[in-house]
Amino acid sequence: MSKRKIVVALGGNAILSTDASDKAQKEALKATAAYLVEIIKQGNELIISHGNGPQVGNLVLQQQAAASKSNPAMPLDTCVAMTQGSIGYWLQNALENAFKKEGIEKSVISVVSQVVVDQNDVAFIHPTKPIGPFLTQSEAHEQMLLSDDTYQEDAGRGWRKVVPSPKPVSILEYPIINQLVENGVVTISVGGGGIPVIEAENEFVGVEAVIDKDFASQKLAELVEADLLVILTGVEQVYINYNQPNQKALTTVTTKELYQYIQENQFAPGSMLPKIEAAISFVEHNPKGKAVITSLENLGNFNTENAGTTIVRG
């Protein structure tokens, strides 16, 4: 099989589950790196993106708790940049060690990435992107009474703070990301969906928002003309009628079929739907490309028939 340029989107919840310590998250990424190495061993070029929902939410809480007049809390765009740096460092280190263990001579680098959004995006009026820890309904209501923050129920898993989530328009660093990949460097980029910036008065300015990691990954895959976009989730395949007696796994599915399933409300808005929409957008903007939605544990099986859910144009 010829070498492919593959973008793999890791979820922030795959890095942090219940233990938010530095040690636990490094251990999680050590396990993640072992799966990512399988893509390299197949002769592919790899670009990795990652979420940061739990991490940036926790960081915002820490910033607020320690804020003072002389040491004010950092705004959300800066917190996104900070988690890009910390998660990028952890993953970069884990991959370097995994390469060494496997005898692979490969360089890896993290790129602090700015993602351009439209300042007129309606998302700034209607915040929807969950960040931070899961709370009970009573805890969320208490937080809303104490602040101007908005909390919403998140796919049956609890209540989380929600912030504006504008769609990505472009990625400022994509040319250098592509250049690195073309030179064989494994690149970690658009962490946490990227640092949201708007263009105002001929300057790029950070804004208080979080970009969905899957849409940022789709935009990156589109801009670097990737052959494959892989979006990781907690299940091996996408299902319709999920958790019902007539549940059915999707193996290969067309964009037309997915549009129909969306109309049927088959995919949860805060969970699977953004992944489906990102996969559709990539395939429609890159006719030669494919998208796969699957689990981390299934990463090494892309050369196997019916591995994960493959989205194709049609």
Q: Which of 52, 53, 57, 129 is catalytic?
A: 129
Calculate the dihedral angle through the C-alpha atoms of 297, 294, 184, 89, rounding to the nearest 10 degrees: -60
Concerning whether 26 is annotated as a catalytic residue, the answer is no
Q: Which of 132, 275, 290, 308 is catalytic?
A: 275
Q: Which of 11, 12, 192, 193 is catalytic?
A: 12
Rounded CA-CA distance 164/194 in Å is 14
* Residue 197 near residue 207, CB atoms below 8 Å: yes
Concerning whether 13 is annotated as a catalytic residue, the answer is yes
**DSSP E strands, 60-219:** 108-110, 114-117, 129-135, 150-153, 159-163, 168-171, 186-188, 195-200, 203-206
Concerning whether 129 is annotated as a catalytic residue, the answer is yes
What would the DSSP string read from start to end of 16-37?
-SS--SHHHHHHHHHHHHHHHH
Concerning whether 88 is annotated as a catalytic residue, the answer is no
Q: Which of 5, 161, 167, 213 is catalytic?
A: 213
Concerning whether 101 is annotated as a catalytic residue, the answer is no
Give the active site residues.
12-13, 129, 213, 275
